[in-house]
């Protein structure tokens, strides 16, 4: 039986019926990832991982990113993580600062839906990082 769930797909820019699969399909050459759950959009072939270490192991990490958005999120983490790891701001504090500037209740990198949005967040984080 196929498990599907409605998840926002960045590739399709719409809520799509994502299909639950595992690492054997997503990363066929990574035996270590084989048992991990993923939600895949069969229309554009993009996918999202899950909070697999939690009790609800098929709970998706966020929306389904494209390759470009995934790369953009990694760029954000490269400048964001050192800020809270340095102890200058708490992680939670930093995330709420970003949310405040964005004008949203909560900020999650995994919820970024477009490259434009990622660029905006990148600039915000950069400003926070350079203001000392
Ligand atoms: Zn899609």
Interval between CA 97 and ligand 1 midpoint (Å): 31
Nearest to 28, CA basis, from 42, 17, 38, 16: 38
Flag whether pLDDT at 132 surpasses 70. Answer: no
Interval between CA 46 and ligand 1 midpoint (Å): 6
Q: Check residue 2 and give its pLDDT.
A: 84
Q: How many domains does the chain have?
A: 2
- Digit-coded pLDDT (tens) for 2-57: 899 999 999 999 999 999 999 999 999 999 999 999 999 999 999 999 999 999 99
pLDDT-derived band at 93 (thresholds 50, 70, 90) equals very high
- Digit-coded pLDDT (tens) for 104-126: 999 999 999 999 999 999 999 99
- Same domain, yes or no: 118 and 78: yes
Q: Is residue 58 part of a domain?
A: no
Interval between CA 77 and ligand 1 midpoint (Å): 24
Q: Using the Cα atoms of residue 74, residue 29, residue 32 and residue 12 in order, give the sign of their dihedral.
A: positive
Interval between CA 116 and ligand 1 midpoint (Å): 18
List the beta strands (DSSP E) in 42-95.
Answer: 47-49
- Same domain, yes or no: 91 and 124: yes
- Same domain, yes or no: 126 and 71: yes
Domain that holds residue 26: 4-49
Report the C-alpha gap between 87 and 69 in whole angstroms: 27
Interval between CA 18 and ligand 1 midpoint (Å): 8
Q: Is residue 61 part of a domain?
A: no
Q: Is residue 23 part of a domain?
A: yes
Interval between CA 82 and ligand 1 midpoint (Å): 32
Report the C-alpha gap between 99 and 60 in whole angstroms: 21
- Same domain, yes or no: 74 and 126: yes
Report which DSSP code applies to 12.
T
Q: Hey, is 2 helix, strand or coil?
A: coil
């Amino acid at each position: 039986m196929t498990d599907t769930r409605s998840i926002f797909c960045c590739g399709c820019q719409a809520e799509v019926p994502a299909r639950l699969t595992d690492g054997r399909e997503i990363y066929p050459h990574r035996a270590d990832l084989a048992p991990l759950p993923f939600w895949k959009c069969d229309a554009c072939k993009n996918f999202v991982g899950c909070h697999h270490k939690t009790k609800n192991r098929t709970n998706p990490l966020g929306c389904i990113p494209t390759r470009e958005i995934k790369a953009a999120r990694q760029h954000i983490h490269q400048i964001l993580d050192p800020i809270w790891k340095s102890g200058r701001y708490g992680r939670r504090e930093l995330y709420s600062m970003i949310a405040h500037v964005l004008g949203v209740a909560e900020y999650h990198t995994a919820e970024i839906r477009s490259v434009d949005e990622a660029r905006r967040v990148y600039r915000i984080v950069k400003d926070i990082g350079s203001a000392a």
